[in-house]
Each structure stands twice: as structure tokens, then as C-alpha cells.
Amino acid sequence: MIKKILLIMPPLRFETPPYFTYSLPILAASLEKEGFEVEILDLELHKTIINKRGLTRLICSKKFDIMGISGLITSYTTVQMLMDITRKQFPKKKIILGGGLASSVPEHSLKVMKADYVVYGEGVISTPNLIHALNNNKKLKNVKGICYMSKGKMIKTEPQPLVRNLDDLPRPAYHLMDMKKYINHYDKLSGFRKNMRIMTGVGCIGQCTYCFRICGKGSYRLYSIPRVIKEMKYFIKKYNIKHFNFIDEEFLVAKSRVIELCKQMRKHKINVTWKCCSRVDSINPEIVKTIKKAGCVIVGLGIESGSQKILDNMKKNVKVEQTKKALRILRKYNMPHGGTMMYGMVGENKETVKETIRFCREMEHDVEFFWTTPYPGTEIYNDLVKQGKIKDEKEFFEKLSDAYQFLINLTEFKTDEEAIYWKKYLQRKIKIPLYKKLYIRVRDKGLWNLDFQIYDFMKRRLFPEKYFESKYTTKKRAF
């Protein structure tokens, strides 16, 4: 009989402070509601022991009847290590694998990684139903949203419908998380302020070829405004939060809702600063003035490229001129902003690189470009598989990172060396002199976080070897 459940989340990145994610706290609350005893082991708080010895000691200290592991595909090596250790130390314990990794490659998760069960898509309903089925010896084929092996073949049940009204979800099990360790650190967004990530919606309306969505594309579901206000007031009262990072990827897309949320924030005297993300085509004068008045201090944009050909290949469904217009509006109203950029997309060539250089120079946009990376489940990854360019999935997954490193050449450049050269060329050509960069920084971002930016800059320059504090990372990981 399964009573005690251990949920594990591998670290998202090793070089950053603890990163709070909502998936496991919400799942844990759902399981507790069904009468199970749940423990969350968030390895974001144990980055210095992500090796076989450290994880073995940690897992052996826990008591559980079944283990659930979540995580992204970039956590593949850590997840595999967790599973191998559990198999060796607890050979009779069953393992459920969920999250982005399992949802994007369910068959690989079962056949290669040797998970007992996979929960794909949104697991908040499927996971409790799976465990109830195991406890009551019911047929697994009737449990929606799972995969399992039967007679050497993978059985994939029909998808579990999404929870359309997010207010129906239980409140995250914050009591199972060491919350103070997520908020008592500083970063470039919040500066020297206690900060917290907060979620007001789930999903994305985009159809980008480089992105995988665990619950599918084209859907953006929202919490009610009273629910959001309640969560914000909770964090402010309990943890004295001074800055919120809204983690919705398209926070501004529902304009009328954003305007009403800002109105309610002022009504309830929620006097904090906050950051949000947006599509470039969601930026207009009215929305910028509204969010600024309500405390927004920075808007993050997904720009990605200055070439219309590349944007079209990505299926971004935006125009370069819309991006320029969005940047001009933000600057006109003195709204601090940032914008991610990508290089190496399918179709990238000398001309598209030069188009992006012209865009960045015109808009004075000097940032570090990500490499376009084909993550499993994305359209560009599926195309590579069909073309036979990914021969060993396991080897490929083990090399995946968060897109700062070159992995595979998707461009029209004939060699890897040529593709790498043109990225360096692009970065060199858009580089802005330091004195001018400081001026642009103040112009675009005002004095927001200037104290922290100076501190961060001096720390990087004077003490580069100590820049990433040892409590967040470890230099050696024995995989």
C-alpha cells in the first residue's frame, strides 16, 4: 500500500541561487488532498552534493513508498543518476517520472531510463489517479495521462484534460518547502530586495518551433485576480517580500486582465516592485503606463532575431517592425526592459546575420545571444530525427544545456566552425563601448537596481573566481 510519497526536483541550473518552481508544490498539495503523506526534496537547495555519494546519502535518509521525479530535459544526467541510485538502494520501490523530460520523451524514459511509470502533460490529476489505481489494483489503461510498459511495448493512455479553471487547483504546499532559502538572496532583477517568483497563469499562445510545452501550445490559462492578490498579500505579510517576478511568459497578452490586476494592486495597497514578460506585439502605450503606475520596473521581451526570415522560420508570428515599435514605446515611457536573442536557427546565413546586426545597431541592443537548441518535443528536434541527424538520443540528451553552448549546426553554414565564427562575428559587431553602454543602461532602465548593478559588476571584475558563491554551486560533480 502506497502512503508515503517522495517528490524530487533536480536543480534547473548549478550556477544560480535557488530557483523556486511551482509544479511540485502544487502536485504535493493535490496528493495531500487525496490523503497521502508527501515530502518534497528540492535539489535546488542541495547543489553542492549533486554527485553519487551525496545523493545516495540523501535518498537513503528518506522514507517513502514510491518516488516521483520531475525535471526538464536539461536535467537528464541528474535524473538518470537519481534513478540509478534508487534502483540500487531500493530495488522494490517504484519510480514515476514526470515533467518536461518525461513528457517530451516518454518512450525513452521507460525503455532507456527505466522509469516504472511516466506521467505526461499536467500531472496534478493523473498522478493521484495513478497511485490510487496501484493501491486498488485497478487497470492502468483507465488512468488518463500516463505511459507504462506492457509485454515489451509502451502503452500510452489518452491525455488527461487540462484544468481550465486554475482556481480549482489546490494552493501550493508551501509548508513542504524551505521558503526562506528561495527569497533570502539577491539577483539582477530584484537587486537588494527580498523577492519571490509568482505565477498568475500557465501556458503560451505561441507556436514557436524551438519551444516545447508540457501542456501543449496555443493555450494560456489564468488564475483569477482575487487569487493572485491573495497570494501576493500572503508573501508580503509572511516573508516581507518587496519584489515579485511574474513568471508568466505572456503576462501582458490579456490586456484587460492586466489593467484590472494593476487596479486591484493599487486598491489593496500592494506597494512592491515587479517584473513581467511579454510578446513584443502586446506592448502599447496604455499598457506600459498602466503597469508602470502599478509598480512594474522591468519588462522582458522575447525578441530572438532581427531577421524577418528567421522570425518566420521560428513561427514567432511577429514582424521586425513590431519589435522596433515595442522597444521605442518602452523607451518613450522610461520603462526598463530586456530582450532575449537567439542565433543558429534553421535558415541562418550571412545575410540573416547581417540583418540582425543592423537591427541591433539601430535599436542599440547589445546582449549575449543564445544558441538555438533543438530540445526534444520541439518541431526543430523532430525534423532532425526525421533527417537522421540525431543518431544516439541518450548521448544527445546528456549534452543538452540551457543554450549557452553550441550543440548542433542547424544553419546554412556548411561547417560547425563556420557557424561558430559567424556568431562571434555577430556579437563583436553589435558590441557597444562600455561608456555608451552605461549611458544606454541608465536611459533604458533608469536608476532601477543601479546600486546592485554596480556591486555585481565590481564583484565580477575584482573577484571572478568567487563570483558564484560556493553555497549555490560545486566545482566538481561526479556523474
Is residue 174 assigned to a domain? no
Is residue 263 assigned to a domain? yes
CB 208 within 8 A of CB 263: no
Residues 196 and 146 grouped into a single domain: no
Residues 60 and 207 grouped into a single domain: no
Per the structure, the complete domain to which residue 387 belongs is given by 186-448
Is residue 324 assigned to a domain? yes
Residues 268 and 152 grouped into a single domain: no
Is residue 97 assigned to a domain? yes
Is residue 465 assigned to a domain? no
Q: What sign results for the dihedral spanned by CA atoms 48, 52, 53, 54?
A: positive
Bridge-based pairing of strands 296-304 and 273-278 is parallel
CB 258 within 8 A of CB 282: no
Residues 265 and 414 grouped into a single domain: yes
Is residue 162 assigned to a domain? no
Number of domains in the chain: 2
Please write down the HEC assignment for all residues of 269-280: CCCCEEEEEECH
Residues 256 and 341 grouped into a single domain: yes
Is residue 468 assigned to a domain? no
Please, what are the averages of pLDDT over each run of 10 residues along the chain (479 residues)? 96 83 96 97 90 93 97 94 96 96 97 97 96 96 97 96 94 95 72 84 92 82 96 96 92 95 97 94 97 94 97 97 97 92 97 98 93 96 94 93 90 97 96 76 65 66 50 36
Q: How many CB atoms lie within 10 A of CB 432?
A: 16
Residues 309 and 400 grouped into a single domain: yes
Cα separation, 7 vs 23, whole angstroms = 11
Output the nine-digit C-alpha cell for 454. 554596480
Q: At what angle do helices 320-332 and 285-293 cross, to 10 degrees?
A: 40
Residues 80 and 145 grouped into a single domain: yes
**CATH number, domain containing residue 42:** 3.40.50.280
Output the nine-digit C-alpha cell for 115. 522509469
Cα separation, 302 vs 340, whole angstroms = 5
pLDDT of residue 422: 97
Measured CA angle at 163 (ends 161, 167), to 5 deg: 170
Is residue 172 assigned to a domain? no
Cα separation, 260 vs 245, whole angstroms = 18
pTM value > 0.85: yes
Residues 399 and 277 grouped into a single domain: yes
Residues 244 and 143 grouped into a single domain: no
CA distances from 190 to 193, 228, 386, 467, 471 (A): 6, 20, 44, 18, 20
CA distances from 304 to 108, 323, 330, 368, 447 (A): 30, 10, 17, 11, 26
pLDDT of residue 470: 35
Residues 194 and 315 grouped into a single domain: yes
Residues 284 and 433 grouped into a single domain: yes
